[in-house]
Amino acid sequence: MFTPNFVKPGDKIAFVSTARKIDFKEIREAINLLETWDLQIVVGSTIGMHDHQFAGSDQARREDFQQMLDDDDIKAIWCARGGYGTVRIIDDIDFSGFRKKPKWIIGYSDITVLHSHIHNFGIKTMHAPMPIDIHKGTKPSIDSFKKVIFGNKIGYTIPASKKNILGSCTGQLVGGNLSMLYSLCGSKSSLDTMGKILCIEDLDEYLYHIDRMLQNLKRNGYFDNLQGLIVGGMTKMHDNNIPFGKKAKRIIQDIVKDYNFPVAFNFPMGHIEDNRALIFGADVSLEVKNDEVIFKYI
């Protein structure tokens, strides 16, 4: 996998929205933060643009992203927020210049569309907090983001969950938002998970939806040759009046029981305040022990 150049003081970072609308005031704190890191901010035209729930029309969002993608002075693109909308423009983006001169694409949630699509080019991307929620991020979350974008090697050691499946593995790190991964199945943006370590997280979904999405990933072979599974936040889950009968973690446990790979629950990633930065496409090791989970970049 190709690693884009990490940023350095004085570099330009672009803020765009490929999905839901967002106003300038909602990214002000993120701008202030990056300025304290001696980075220059370029605000895309989609910031402040409204087209119903989107940050401008599909064409406007594509053109804004394309401009930042093709500008050699821009060293990274930090997607301002998620929501929904990136999949509407992904097939119309010209990645030919980007593939010759890759730069970091940063975000999570709906930005999983970009992570998955770009992973298939053999280029690493960054799963990290976004400008809209940087104000509520924990210090470890923000510190991890700073270390990763400047190219400092990091790792995470977290307490073990009783629901974990013990074991150790190595492999390329892939994944993101479960709903997005599910929606990409069968497309050219779908992930090949063979020999890799998969991360999943989700927000605001019904429990039966979680089961349906995981069943679909299973039927698509996502777990057949997987090395390990990392489960981040399964946040604000819903149930029907007639209960589904299982919580999200139990649903995941039932899906993976027929396989033989380690599983780490409660990992600090996703729609949670402690959303640590991760490099998708990087080679990592995962050790799930009785008392702790150790995650390292190789």
DSSP E strand boundaries for 4-88: 12-16, 40-43, 74-79
d(C-alpha 88, C-alpha 138), whole Å: 32
H-assigned helices in 79-192? 96-100, 112-119, 139-149, 178-184
H-assigned helices in the chain? 28-36, 58-70, 96-100, 112-119, 139-149, 178-184, 207-219, 248-256
Backbone angles phi, psi at 78, to 5 degrees: -105, 105
Catalytic residue check, 109: yes
Catalytic residue check, 201: yes
Residue 247 tokens, joined: 């919580």
Rg over CA atoms, the chain: 18
d(C-alpha 204, C-alpha 172), whole Å: 28
CB atoms within 10 A of CB 33: 18
Catalytic residue check, 52: no
Find the catalytic residue in 26, 63, 201, 205: 201
Find the catalytic residue in 17, 109, 183, 189: 109
d(C-alpha 196, C-alpha 172), whole Å: 5
In Å, what is the CA distance from 272 to each residue of 40, 78, 146, 195, 231?
Answer: 27, 18, 18, 28, 12
Find the catalytic residue in 116, 183, 271, 287: 271
Active site residue ranges: 109, 201, 271
